[in-house]
Amino acid sequence: MTSVQLMMRYVLTVVGLALAFLLRAEDGHRLWLRMERNAAPAEVRVAGPAKKTVTLAIAREELADFWKGEERLVLSVSDDAPGRDGFRIRRRGQEIQLSSASDIGVLYAAYALLRRQQTGQLLSDGQTVEESPSYDLRILNHWDNPDGTVERGYAGRSIWKWDELPGKLSPLYREYARANASVGINATVLNNVNAKAEMLSGDMLRKVMAIAATLRPYGIRVFLSVNFATPKLLGGLPTADPLDAEVRKWWTGKVEEIYRLIPDFGGFLVKANSEGTPGPQDYGRTHADGANMLADVLAPHGGVVMWRAFVYQPSNSDRACQAYEEFVPLDGCFRDNVIVQVKNGPIDFQPREPFSPLFGAMPHTQIMPEFQITQEYLGQSIHTVFLATMWKDCLDADTYYDGGATVAAVTQHKVSEKSLSAMAGVSNIGDTVNWTGNDMAQANWYAFGRLCWNSHYTARQIAEEFLQQTFTDDERFVAPMCQLLLRSWNVAVDYMMPMGLHHIFAFSHHYGPEPWCNLEGMRPDWLPPYYHQADSAGLGFDRTRSGSDAVSQYHEPLATIYNDVHTCPEEYLLWFHHVPWDFVMSDGLTMWENLCYTYYRGAEEAARFTDLWREMRPYVDAERYAAMLKRFERQSKDAVWWRDACAQYFARFSARPIPADCTKPVHLLQDLMEFHLDIDNYTAADMEKLP
């Protein structure tokens, strides 16, 4: 071999290695669906008459491409198999049977079998697994706008390319559908709850039709958020009064137009008479009047109205009370195809809230929980906060309705006569390459789907599944990172708003602390002092019977437990009580000492997250390791920012020093109070500009 040939072989080898490296370069786009494609297709057969649906073809293709076992796989749609999207997987010798009463159930079974393969939970001979979802509607709410922006979105622009539709379909749509189907999500609201009337124009509906056609084979129905004033804004009517005959006629025609284009259209999500949005109360009507009018025009087509209970007015003495006050008197007044959508807590997706008292207070109305996957109040796409622990805390909470029923039982209507159940999550998805802006934030999308499917899953089980599928099944990685995820919510609460503090964020964008924010002319319930109520006597919002009486919205014994400062759970102490600084808590320390120590503990644990991630370097690809390291480092700095801001600020009211065994603050309070983050021009590259 000549020197030239040797040189060429060397060059080709180097190029080959470089190409191989590039092909292996990891951008996080594959999410938890990281199976390697088979060199030769696995043996998969579709049995029975239903062989030609697109959904069954997808199920067969997924298994042929990614099933590594030696068993033959048989897919069937059968009346004697589980229904309502459920499925059965049965192994008999060298054959595995996947069956359901529907083709989408068979697709869910296919993804379940592949998940078992990825996580090492293979079926033994003779074993049968049956699953059915906890909720009928398992729905992502996109707060995406027609101009491509995303309200409270931290992962780029909207994945819906309205300017390209309907002529051009982004490949993201099919990938999005596949990811959702793999965890059982079966519905999506395409647009922001702060809806634009133009979403119901003919041009936009044809674009929606194109998206719906792409999502349909994966079992995903499309919903739209609607502006209640659309008959005026789009239809030219003088009113949007839900009892007006012309308004009803307009909605009837519009709904018929939608179903001609999208026969399986899911229905409407409505935010009405909240934060200035139009609604039936503008005409002296009730929420039930508005919801029922829309429900009546949707009912002949099988459509559903999801009516949000997120309402509050500046005139109310306690924002936490208003949803209960407005909706409980309407219990039993809503149509059967109306579901009242309730945020997990009574305020607004705060780091920690008690569950909303509406759960368990409306037994004759279909109620659904709404969770926020996107981390508006929890560090956005920077901080790692695994939300399954928060959601389980809510779902497993006992409402004490009729002697005892968890939020999950109430919203799955196991204790009432209603049957249509749903759970919604505000999406954290954008067009950034890894979908969520933070590789670890993908865990919250995954966890939401898994809890919708089975609300009995534990946070640990979901965390382990996610880590094994998304990173590696090496126990040296999975075990410590699982512990990190399971601790992350409590750690974030500790360094942000411990002991029941809430809504003390920077104004508008909600990134970083600003408990001092008190903008002149702004409505009080948008400002932190309204919530923390700090003064020389103490700290916290008095919601006892002698205060706003929010405690009385809960069933006994909770009302009495929350009302007494000595029995109130300490994680909600400042939520329900204005507590003296020297109040002695269960550990013998004063409230002020506990507040300081909790802030410092949260910051210390956030720093340990960074140290732990550095130990994970051998088990993670270089790209995701580096991206996550920056975020963990920023999270640690932010925790110190929160600690220094809040401890020093509240010290002004307590007239007490920060305990001597706490480290000296890194930042001076005056410097922090003068710092203002320009969130509109903020990018990941600007992280170092923060305190």
Q: What pairing do the DSSP bridges indicate for beta strands 367-372 and 221-226?
A: unpaired
275 is catalytic: yes
Beta-bridged to residue 267, according to DSSP, are 223, 304
587 is catalytic: no
Q: What pairing do the DSSP bridges indicate for beta strands 267-270 and 221-226?
A: parallel
Choice among 43, 65, 264, 348 that is catalytic = 348
Nearest-CA neighbor of 502 among 573, 553, 426?
573
Choice among 376, 439, 593, 644 that is catalytic = 376
Choice among 246, 256, 275, 587 that is catalytic = 275
Extended strands (E) in 356-421: 367-372
Consecutive H or E run containing 343: strand 338-343
Q: What pairing do the DSSP bridges indicate for beta strands 338-343 and 422-426?
A: unpaired
DSSP string, 257-321: HHHHH-TT--EEEE--SSTT---GGGGT--HHHHHHHHHHHHGGGT-EEEEE-----TTSS-GGG
Half-sphere exposure (Cβ direction) of 534: Cα atoms closer than 13 Å: 24
Tell me the C-alpha distance between 87 and 128, whole Å.
11
Nearest-CA neighbor of 318 among 357, 260, 359?
357
Tokens describing residue 71? 């068993």
Tell me the C-alpha distance between 291 and 424, whole Å.
18
Tell me the C-alpha distance between 554 and 320, whole Å.
12
Longest Cα pair distance anywhere in the chain, in angstroms?
95
CA distances from 349 to 138, 372, 502, 603 (A): 19, 6, 10, 22
DSSP string, 603-632: HHHHHHHHHHHHHTGGGS-HHHHHHHHHHH
623 is catalytic: no
Active site residues: 275, 348, 376
